[in-house]
Structure 1
Amino acid sequence: MVAQAAGRVTRWATAALGRVLDRVARTEAEVGQRFPLHADPREDSWTTTRRGSWTGGFWAGQLWLRARLTGEAGHARAAADCAARLAPWAEADTVTRGLILWYGVAAGGRLGVPTPADAGTDEPARAGAERLRLTFDPAAGLLPWGTAFGDPADPVIARVDGVAGTLPLLCWAGETGAVAARRHLRTHLDLCAAPTGSRPAWQREAGRWVPRDQPPRGWSRGEAWLLLALADAAHWLDPGFARHGRELARRWADGVPPAVRDRPDGPPDTSAAAIMVVALAKLGQREAATALLAELVEGHLTGVGGLGDGCHDLTRGVATRHELVWGDYFLLLALAILTGTIPAHAV
């Protein structure tokens, strides 16, 4: 199927889209008011969190996408209710609130999902974006990683997984946010995309950047996050960022990658590949995006319609061959974009 994917994308992708939407319904019935994190394929049950962690926006995001695709009022209400439960993250000290608020809260308006008047989501998303912008560190040239997940405030930490989501959220929220987003991206691009190998995490000591051990060098999901941020920057900030994105895509986007490129014998990470599909589609590289999407659907879509073979954290041995909520989200988004159901830059 991969070799013929570009010519027949609508037929097989539409079928896959239906299976993924069925999975959303099954997950919804299982998790209730909690947030899914990862599912063990041997047990077909979700590990969940009460507040959503950094991944909560991807569950609300699936519900927003379902509401847009089905047009059902009940689905819109379910998405809005889930988004409302993410509101406290607007004040959490973490740059990953960009992921949470963009994909999980602002997405309803961006997708044009009609919701009741009491379920507005633009205002809390914009307020959260402003609070995030105010954390910008001029000396470091970025928004620090933050302390919400146990990391210190000093030294300042830069992690590449704090760029995607954050960039479009800040740009959408206003001109001052866009200025911070541009510097945030530039700093991470300089730090994390060296020709000698991607380094996803750094800390600032005595005015200079020093690499951190975790996440490890060659972390493929970190590469995917940066590629997605560049694709969004080409839309929100400057078309010139597309050139950087295409250069990195030639280096990184070649089939489903191992979770850590320095460990090619380790497990794959399909969630990284799904993020890359969306980035490639946004960069206008439809043929490459379609081929990678076909590989995911053909080789990794589970019997219940989830994206299997995702790796959450190889170093700690957490959910290394699992269905991951963000993998499911980006698979659903990729299918919606490449079937022409939603515009590539809606979210």
Structure 2
Amino acid sequence: MGINLKFNVQKLLAITILLGSIACDRRVPMNTSIENEYIVNQLQSTISQIPESLPNIPRNIREDGKTWRFVSYQDWTSGFWAGQLWYAYELTGKIGLRDEADRFTMQLEPLAYEPVIDHDIGFQIFNSYGHAYRLTGDTSYKEVIIAAADSLATLYNPKVGTILSWPRSVPNMDWPHHNTIIDNMINLELLFWASKNGGADSLYDIAVRHAETTMENHFRKDHTSFHVVIYDKDSGKVRKQITHQGIANESLWARGQSWAIYGYTMVYRETRDPKFLDFAQKVTDVYLDRLPDDLIPFWDFDDPKIPDAPRDASAAAVVASALYELSQYVKPQKREVYLEKANGMLNALSSSYKSGSKNSALIKHVTGHLPGGTEINTSINYADYYYLEALLKYKNYTN
């Protein structure tokens, strides 16, 4: 079938945005050549550290602040490393990065065919094989994507109307009842894409129903999100709304809200249903209203230790990427606001949140799971992935 142009254009190119709109941010524009050089140097340094034996996928910088922790293909973050390499290849055209991207993409193939262990197969396969197919047109990649979508669909519970996130016992999740986390919104893109590229039509219906059910049950009246909703697996009724990685059940966990912003922007793109565009703006606006001056959120907006609480640069990268797309769909006045915020976030990440010579990650000050005591104020591969995605969108928009 060749490269899917809809996937290419809609996800990464903003052909409807005028150059005058991007100029609403009065900060000095980034030098993309310098950014590209930094990216290549950092990625090549990481590649040089990768062990010959497994596991060999870089996930996060260890407590020493210098060395990588490596994980297997089954880790939920495994697709972000391959995705980074595909994005870096797209930004720079360096064939060596393409070869490395393909090497780490191919490692993930078993995920599409093994019994699915959680919802993150979307992160894993679509962020690796999705870009591989988009950039090469090789149909062997496409086959894996569709198989992965079918696997993800096996976690769907029609009585509830959402995909099960963790099909196993997790503390405070009332197993074996049905849990759904806000992160799952991102994985719907795999279903949408597969349904439009040779997969079953039912994949589209599952994605829409999941988005609608989540919109109904996963948010407070002010449009801030819970991290987890537990449903009765048989009746579909909500049992409780809680957090797993935020500071409290009623708090606004920054990365959770970023998944909602990105997720509902993507759902509107795929459905063109106005209710999703309206909701995307509502979950975005409450997030933007609570940001500190540099636009990089604290890991949880309600941490009483603010301003001494850790930041989460990954949430900023996710939201910056989402805003470049969301700005395409809204009225001109709001478009200017969203573009200014996206540019500000990206400028902050590029100027004050780079890892630099400290280690070979791209950005720092990322918080993974503070209540669990892991990956606090460090560098993590998904933050680097969305930082690259935001940079690529910035480059395409300004050019």
TM-score, normalised by the number of residues in structure 1: 0.88
Contact 2:178 2:230 in 1 (8 A): yes
- 1:160-182 residue CA offsets vs partner (Å, 9 max, x unmatched): 11111x12111110132111111
2:41 is equivalent to residue 22 of structure 1: yes
- 1:283 is paired with a residue whose SS is helix
Which residue, out of 91, 94, 99, partners 1:69?
91
2:281 is equivalent to residue 258 of structure 1: no
Unaligned runs of 5+ in 1: none
Residues 1:76 and 1:20: Cα distance change in structure 2 (over 3 Å): closer
Structure with larger Rg: 2
Q: Distance in 2 between matches of 1:149 and 1:307?
A: 33
Deviates more, 1:320-329 or 1:5-14: 5-14
Q: Distance in 2 between matches of 1:81 and 1:219?
A: 35
The alpha-carbon deviation at position 67 of structure 1 amounts to: 2.1
Which residue, out of 194, 215, 226, partners 1:173?
194
Q: Distance in 1 between matches of 2:392 and 2:24?
A: 15
2:355 is equivalent to residue 302 of structure 1: yes
Letter in 2 for 1:102: F
Unaligned runs of 5+ in 2: 1-22, 196-200, 328-337
Alignment-derived partner of residue 260 in structure 2: 226
Paired-residue identity, %? 22
Superposition pairs of residues 1-347 of structure 1, within 5 angstroms: 6=25, 10-32=29-51, 34-40=56-62, 42-90=64-112, 91=114, 92-110=116-134, 112-113=135-136, 120-147=140-167, 154-164=176-186, 166-174=187-195, 175-196=201-222, 197-205=224-232, 207-209=236-238, 210-216=240-246, 217=249, 218-240=252-274, 241-253=276-288, 254=291, 255-264=295-304, 265=306, 266-284=309-327, 285-304=338-357, 306-340=362-396
Deviates more, 1:262-271 or 1:223-232: 262-271
The alpha-carbon deviation at position 228 of structure 1 amounts to: 0.6
- 1:74-95 residue CA offsets vs partner (Å, 9 max, x unmatched): 3222212211111222232211
Contact 1:95 1:144 in 2 (8 A): yes
Corresponding pairs, count: 335
Q: Distance in 2 between matches of 1:79 and 1:341?
A: 25
Backbone CA RMSD of aligned residues? 2.5
The alpha-carbon deviation at position 31 of structure 1 amounts to: 2.1
Contact 1:155 1:204 in 2 (8 A): yes
Q: Distance in 2 between matches of 1:52 and 1:149?
A: 18
- 1:7-55 residue CA offsets vs partner (Å, 9 max, x unmatched): 5665434423431232121112212461111114753111111225110
- 1:70-117 residue CA offsets vs partner (Å, 9 max, x unmatched): 33433222212211111222232211111111112212122x2366x8
Deviates more, 1:203-212 or 1:290-299: 203-212
- 1:113-159 residue CA offsets vs partner (Å, 9 max, x unmatched): 366x8xx3111111110121232111110111132686786110010
Residues 1:23 and 1:342: Cα distance change in structure 2 (over 3 Å): farther
